[in-house]
A and B are shown apart, each in its own frame.
Chain A
Amino acid sequence: MQIKIKLNNKNRIINASYDESLLSILRKENCFSVKCGCEKGQCGTCTVLVNDNPVASCIIPVGSLNSTDDQNLVSIVTMEHFESYEEFKDISKGFKDAKISLCGYCDSAKIFTAYSLIKKYYRPTKEQIEASIKYLQPCCIDNDTFMNGIIYAVAANHRREGKAANEK
């Protein structure tokens, strides 16, 4: 089956069976930032952005992403392309300020979770951050340090975008 998607900002036609997981397709496309973890959608190591929302690619059948409208293809972004985003720089800065050093296997889970919080909330509260990170498998950093990293990332994002402190 031919599946039309937009992968890392490039329109692509992928030959795959309908029920093949997005994870295996992305790894075949040399997107190695997408890691193989639990394969049940629990650990987050296979997280990618689908239409700008973080999802676990191991439980997405690639056929469900097919689009017949060439103007509105489903956009999939992996870390390889996300590194060119300005938000990635904010998140990297924030994690560095919080002295976070990721193991390399859970990077996409943590970075895309931070990105979704930055996108969704102007200034996420502790409870909102806790609710987002609660289901991520504890890997190389504890939750408190990760939360600090997200808060610093939000601050870096505000500084870069020149947002006033009281702007909402």
Chain B
Amino acid sequence: MPKDKEHNLSFTDKFCSDIIKDGMFYACTVRSKIESGRLLSVTLGDDYADCKLITAKDIPGENAIDFNGTKVPLLCEDEIHYIGEPVALVVSSSMKNAQKAAITAKIAVELKENDTNENDIIDYERDLHYGPCFIMESGQAKGIDARILEEKIILQKNWTYDLSPQYYKENCGAFCIYDGKQLTVNTTSQWLTKLSDAISNITGVAEDSIFINKTKTFEQTTNSLYMTPVVACQCALASYITKTPVSLIFTRQEQNDYIFCHRPITLNITTGSSETGKINAIKIQADIDSGYGNLLAKEIADRIAIAAIGLYTIENVSINIKMHRTKKVPLSLDLQQMDAAAFFAIENHISALATKINTSNFYITEEKEYKSLDYKYFILPTEIREMNIDADKEGQINLNLESTLSLIKKFSNVHIDENGEEHYKNESIDKYIHYNRRMLSRTIKSENQRPSPFSTPLRGIGCAVGFEGSLFYGTSLYNPNLSLEMTLETNGNLTIHCPPISPSIKNIWTKTITEQLSIKSSNIKISSDFNLNEESLIPEGLSSNISVMTRLIKKCCEAIAKRKEDAELPFTVKKSIRGSQKNEWDKELFTGSPYNTCSFAFVSVEVELDPCTYEDKIKEIFIIINGGKIVNETEAYITIKLGVQKLLCSLNKNAEIDCDNINIEFINSEEESCQIGELLYKTIPAAYTQALSQILGDTVSSIPLAKEDIYKILTSSNLQNTQKSSDTQVIQEEKNISKEENDADKNKTE
């Protein structure tokens, strides 16, 4: 219950599923088992006569929640739009009965004929073209396909990303108590600002009689943003109708199917580049199954597009991302990893390009199978990256590319000037400057190795670059204006007015405040008394962004430092970060700086494969991060290490992959602190698959992999190599025969 009636929002660190009350009931959702049709009726089995069934007809008010102009229905009323759509609620005194009743409920539907027009609806399309090849010349533009064909090296690949890390935390849900006058809603929802408004519209209970108690939340996915408020409203409805406390908590299966609903994302990339690796034209296409009614379809598509073309300066670009509406649950991605598929695709593509350039320069001579390597023609993936990043040029998307370049140079350390002097040499990471050496040695070895159960373990190494952007300006779902208030009290204490924060974030803020205002950490308090109409309450997964909030803390501290000598205590300061103006990020033209801050990472992964069991192990992961000022290096280190451990559980379908050697370095600077927690998901998967590609002698273009997939790639690659050798042998034999014939003819003539 809220402490004070004036504040109709409160926070608790209890879990929603742990809240109980005498006489409470349990609610479960009845879901559609078909993807389309007209809903006629829902009835419960005879065994569940004591359960209460609630359908759309029982809703006293509006059957919808408004998310910034988009209405999401609470319960299906007429037309079923996707498989799993909520059609009714079952309420019972026993949770087991409610669950069984929901599963066995009879749903009468009128099937519709499959309307072909419905099959290909594009919810959103991001279509972007720029470059000289699109300029009209003599009434005609060349186009990207023609431009690509002009290049010497053309590479086309499909890259499929289907990683979905497992989280076993509390399921989404709500617990509501309506006593006839007051409605208290305990919810895991992150969307709090409009929640009481929505509940009031649905139930008819006055807004000032609705109190929201926000419980602990773990969900950080796109579906959780708008499904948890829907669940809260459904639970409030059930409590309002039954006049009893009601708990509605998703089962684990529902959590997996609706909150973590992940589907593979495939990007098709075609590049045209010179022999030296300079990419002059790129075409990227993706058709993504967005599901039905995906409120973040636009944001997902835009962020994928930005990640695909943001890092590299390419003259001619064509990118087309289509979000297809299908009759499935909306696609759900982690809020901070929406663009991970794009990084996987582009980074792997760069590495595949290096392989293609290098193999196209090998040729067979009569003396040896391979000409000795001429390093002028041997190009490393890091060199291709450096070549295609032009930090000085202002591109369509403006990120701090100087950061990326400096990262790559620090890591690869191959930048040697005409005097033979090395640049960007960093003493502390000298021992790690072996990426290029290892890359070369693995490449040479992999050309010759024929794995057998008696071979030594096979090794490969891959690398990837990625960035993590904070506070995306291109969103349409919420207004990205954040503000923070701080009060300097009469007794010298400092109060920060914000929702509850984790101990690690509190450490970081405390350190910042202590440095700037010389206030002891014990005198810094957090106050979470809010009203629901506060503008700053954007969804928690977005507002708890460390880089933005740390900036706000600093701004508030500066303001307090200026005023504290003259102003009377207590006084409050409020500082804001506004969403970008048009000159920063233009949503329509898709140009500018799309994020408030950006952090960068370079990762190399060395993999070892047992040729007998086909089990892989990661020998070493090396990560170097440029995240601006690292306020607490220990916390940052732990965050990254934990992220790696979580990721290693999902790279392989069968089992967790081991890695004993994880090296993490930060490039500490005085720039704004940036979010760094999700950089790994944008870099490690690509580096891992590149390493596997090197081992297997064939491109690994999807993730995650199972042992069986590795075996198939390895055996088909061996077959190709065997075929190649036998072809070579045939050519050699023919040449020998022809040489013998020539010699015989020569002797005859003589």
* A36 pairs with B13, CB closer than 8 A: no
Please tell me if the beta carbons of A105 and B641 are within 8 angstroms of each other in the complex.
no
Q: For window 33-59 of chain A, which residues contact chain B by CB distance below 8 Å? A: 35-39, 42-43, 45
Q: Is the C-beta of A141 less than 8 angstroms from some C-beta in chain B?
A: yes
Alpha-carbon gap, A36 to B171, bound state (A): 9
* Partner pick for B649 among A37, A38, A137, A144, CB 8 A cutoff: A137
Determine whether the beta carbon of A101 is less than 8 Å from that of B502: yes
Rounded to whole angstroms, the CA-CA distance of A37 and B15 in the bound complex is: 13
**Chain B residues at the A interface, C-beta cutoff of 8 Å:** 13, 15, 17-18, 20, 166, 168-171, 216, 218, 252, 502-504, 634, 638, 641-642, 645-646, 649
- Whether A142 pairs with B641 at a CB distance below 8 angstroms is yes
Contact indicator B252/A39 (Cβ below 8 Å): yes
Q: Which residues from A are CB-within-8-Å of B18? A: 32
Known A-B contacts A36-B17, A101-B504, A105-B15; the reply to A141 vs B170 at CB < 8 A is: no
- Find B645's partner among A30, A42, A138 (CB 8 Å cutoff): A138
Q: Does A145 contact B (CB under 8 A)?
A: yes
Residues of A within 8 A of B218 (CB): 103, 105
B402 to chain A, nearest CB (A): 31
- Listed A/B pairs (17) with beta-carbon separation below 8 Å: A32-B15, A36-B170, A37-B252, A38-B166, A42-B168, A45-B169, A101-B502, A101-B503, A103-B218, A104-B13, A104-B216, A137-B166, A138-B642, A138-B645, A138-B646, A139-B169, A143-B641
Instruction: Establish whether residues A35 and B170, one from each chain, have CB atoms under 8 Å apart when the complex forms.
Output: yes
Closest to A20 in B: B96
- For chain A residues 119-143, which have a beta carbon within 8 Å of chain B? 137-143
Which chain B positions have C-beta within 8 A of A145? Answer: 638, 641
Whether the Cβ atoms of B641 and A137 lie closer than 8 Å is no
- A105 pairs with B638, CB closer than 8 A: no
Determine the residue in chain B with the shortest Cβ distance to A105: B169
List the B side residues contacting A32 at CB < 8 Å: 15, 17-18
In the bound complex, residues from chain A placing their C-beta under 8 Å from that of B646 are 138
Assess the B20–A30 pair: CB atoms within 8 A: yes
Please, which residue of chain A has its CB at the minimum distance from the CB of B642?
A142
- Complex: A43 Cα to B168 Cα, angstroms: 7
Given A138-B649, A141-B642, A104-B502 contact (CB < 8 Å): no
Give me the 3 closest cross-chain CB pairs, A-B, nearest first. Answer: A37-B168, A43-B168, A32-B18
- CB B26 to nearest CB in A, in angstroms, measures 12
Contact A144 B216 (CB under 8 A): no
Pairwise interchain contact B168-A137, C-beta atoms closer than 8 A: yes
Q: Are B252 and A36 in contact (CB under 8 A)?
A: yes
**In whole angstroms, what is the CA distance A5 to B502 when docked?**
38
Q: Give A141 to B503 CA distance when docked, in angstroms.
A: 13
**Smallest CB–CB gap between B651 and chain A, Å?**
13
Q: Which residues of B have CB within 8 Å of A105? A: 15, 169-170, 218
Q: A32-B17, A142-B641 are in contact. List 8 more A-B contacts (CB 8 A).
A: A35-B15, A36-B17, A36-B252, A38-B252, A138-B642, A142-B638, A142-B642, A143-B641
Nearest Cβ on chain B to A32's Cβ, whole angstroms? 4
Closest residue of chain A to B96 (Cβ to Cβ) is A24
Shortest beta-carbon distance from B649 to chain A in Å = 7
Q: For the complex, what is the distance from the CA of A137 to the CA of B634, rounded to whole Å?
A: 22
Taking the nearest CB of chain A, how far is it from the CB of B511, in angstroms?
14
Enumerate chain A residues within 8 angstroms of B170, measured Cβ to Cβ: 35-36, 105
CA distance A63 to B634 in the complex (A): 47
Closest beta carbon of chain B to A12's beta carbon, Å: 18
Whether B642 pairs with A38 at a CB distance below 8 angstroms is: no
Query: How far, in whole Å, are A105 and B16 apart by their CA atoms in the complex?
Result: 12
Query: Which chain B positions have C-beta within 8 A of A38?
Result: 166, 168, 252
* Nearest CB on A from B334, distance (A): 15
Least CB distance, B555 to chain A, in whole angstroms:
27
B302 CB to closest chain A CB, in angstroms?
31
With the chains together, A138 CA to B242 CA distance in Å? 41
- The answer to whether A144 touches B641 (Cβ under 8 A) is yes
Which B residues are in CB contact (< 8 Å) with A139?
A: 169
Contacts of B641 in A (CB 8 A): 142-145
Cα separation A43 to B642 with both chains bound (whole Å) = 16
A43 to B166, CA, bound (A): 10
What is the bound-complex CA distance between A30 and B17, given in angstroms?
Answer: 11
Option from B15, B20, B168, B638 in Cβ contact (under 8 Å) with A104: B15
Of all chain A residues, which has the CB nearest B645? A138
Interface membership of chain A positions 136-160, coded 1 if the CB is closer than 8 angstroms to chain B and 0 otherwise = 0111111111000000000000000
A165 CB to closest chain B CB (Å) equals 28
Find chain A residues with CB under 8 A from B15 CB: 32, 35, 104-105
B123 smallest CB distance to A (angstroms): 33
Contact of B638 among A37, A137, A141 (CB under 8 A): A141
- Residues of chain A within 8 A (CB-CB) of B504 are 101
CA distance A37 to B642 in the complex (A): 19
Q: Write the nearest CB–CB distance from B716 to chain A, whole angstroms.
A: 33
With a cutoff of 8 Å between Cβ atoms, the chain A residues found around residue B20 in the complex are: 30
Instruction: Please name all residues of chain B whose beta carbon is closer than 8 Å to the beta carbon of A143 when the two chains form the complex.
Output: 641, 645
Bound Cα distance A143, B656 (Å): 14
Q: Which residue of A lies closest to B506 (CB)?
A: A101
Q: What's the minimum C-beta distance from A54 to chain B, rounded to whole angstroms?
A: 17
Alpha-carbon separation in the docked complex, A37 to B166 (Å): 11
- Give Cα A138–Cα B218 distance, bound, in whole angstroms: 14
Which among A30, A39, A142 has the greatest number of chain B C-beta atoms within 10 A? A142
CB-defined contacts of B503 to chain A, threshold 8 Å: 101
Complex interface: chain B residues within 8 A of A30 (CB): 20
| Complexed CA–CA distance, A35 and B641 (Å) | 25
**Across-interface contacts of A144 in B (CB, < 8 A):** 641
CA distance A5 to B470 in the complex (A): 52
Give chain B residues whose Cβ lies under 8 Å from the Cβ of A37.
168-169, 252
Complex CA distance for A30 and B18, rounded to whole angstroms: 8
A120–B503 Cα distance when bound, in Å, is 32
In the bound complex, what is the Cα–Cα distance between A83 and B216 (angstroms)?
22
B645 touches A142 (CB 8 A): yes
Closest chain-B Cβ to A38's Cβ sits at a distance in Å of 5
Residue among A42, A140, A143 facing the most chain B CB atoms (10 A cut-off):
A140
Nearest CB of B to A142, in Å: 4
Distance of A139 Cα from B169 Cα, bound (Å)? 9
A70-102 to B contact mask, C-beta < 8 Å, 1/0: 000000000000000000000000000001010
Chain A residues near B252: list those with CB within 8 A: 36-39
In the complex, A120→B17 CA distance in Å?
34
CA distance A138 to B166 in the complex (A): 10
Chain B's nearest CB lies how many Å from the CB of A148? 11
Bound-state CA distance A127–B649 (Å) is 20
Q: Which residues of A contact B169 (CB under 8 A)?
A: 37, 45, 103, 105, 139
Query: CA–CA, A142 to B644, complex, Å?
Result: 9
Query: How far in angstroms is the closest Cβ of chain B from A151?
Result: 16
Q: What residue in chain A is nearest B507 (Cβ atoms)?
A: A99
Q: Give A140 to B216 CA distance when docked, in angstroms.
A: 14
How far, in angstroms, from A152 to B504 measured CA to CA in the complex? 20
Q: Which residue of B lies closest to A145 (CB)?
A: B638
Given contacts A36-B17, A101-B502, A105-B218, A45 and B645 within 8 Å (CB-CB): no
> Which residue of chain A lies nearest to B169 when distances are taken between CB atoms in the complex?
A105
- Distance in Å from the Cβ of A85 to the closest Cβ of chain B? 22
Determine the chain A residues whose CB is within 8 A of the CB of B171 once the complex forms: 36
Cα–Cα, bound, A101→B218 (Å): 15
